[in-house]
Amino acid sequence: MKKIGREIISSLMELLFPASCLACGQPPEQFSEIMLCRSCRAAVKLLSGPLCPCCGKSFHKNTGADHLCGLCLTGHYHFDMARALVKYSPPITTIISRFKYHGQTTSLKSFQAIQQQLPGLTELKQPDLIIPVPLHFKRLQKRGFNQALLLARAFYPDQCQLIDFKVLERHRYTEPQTGLSGKIRRQNLKNAFQVKDQEIVAEKRVLLIDDVFTTGTTVNECAKVLKRAGAREVLVLTMARVD
Q: Assess 84 for contact with Zn ion (CB under 5 A).
A: no
Q: Assess 140 for contact with Zn ion (CB under 5 A).
A: no
DSSP 3-state of 47: coil
Q: Which is nearer to Zn ion, 12 or 68 (by Cβ)?
A: 68
d(CA 196, CA 202): 12
Q: Which of 34, 35, 47, 69 binds Zn ion (CB under 5 A)?
A: 69
Q: Which of 34, 35, 37, 47 binds Zn ion (CB under 5 A)?
A: 37
Q: Assess 82 for contact with Zn ion (CB under 5 A).
A: no
Q: Assess 242 for contact with Zn ion (CB under 5 A).
A: no
Q: Which of 35, 40, 129, 195 binds Zn ion (CB under 5 A)?
A: 40
For residues 209 and 148, the answer to whether their CB atoms sit within 8 Å is yes
| Cβ-Cβ contacts under 8 Å for 142 (sequence gap 6 or more) | none
Q: Which is nearer to Zn ion, 59 or 108 (by Cβ)?
A: 59
d(CA 190, CA 196): 17
Of 68-76, 113-121, 129-137, 175-183, which part binds Zn ion (CB under 5 A)?
68-76
Of 19-27, 126-134, 190-198, 201-209, which part binds Zn ion (CB under 5 A)?
19-27
Q: Which is nearer to Zn ion, 70 or 144 (by Cβ)?
A: 70
Cα 52 from chain centroid?
18
Q: Assess 21 for contact with Zn ion (CB under 5 A).
A: yes
- 21's torsion region: left (phi>0), alpha (psi -120 to 50) or beta? beta
| Cβ-Cβ contacts under 8 Å for 238 (sequence gap 6 or more) | 82, 83, 84, 85, 209, 210, 211, 212, 213, 219
For residues 85 and 209, the answer to whether their CB atoms sit within 8 Å is no
The least distance separating Zn ion from the CB of residue 132, rounded to whole angstroms, comes to 23
Q: Assess 180 for contact with Zn ion (CB under 5 A).
A: no
The distance in angstroms from the start CA to the end CA of the chain is 48
Of 26-34, 106-114, 119-127, 204-212, which part binds Zn ion (CB under 5 A)?
26-34
Question: How far, in Å, are 72, 145, 242 from residue 57 at the CA level?
Answer: 10, 29, 9
Q: Is 211 exposed, middle or buried (0-12, 13-18, 19+ CB in 10 A)?
A: buried
Q: Assess 95 for contact with Zn ion (CB under 5 A).
A: no
Q: Restricting to residues 46-65, name those near Zn ion by CB under 5 A.
A: 52, 54-55, 57
The least distance separating Zn ion from the CB of residue 58, rounded to whole angstroms, comes to 10
Q: Assess 154 for contact with Zn ion (CB under 5 A).
A: no
State the residues that interact with Zn ion by CB under 5 A: 21, 23-24, 26, 37, 40, 52, 54-55, 57, 69, 72
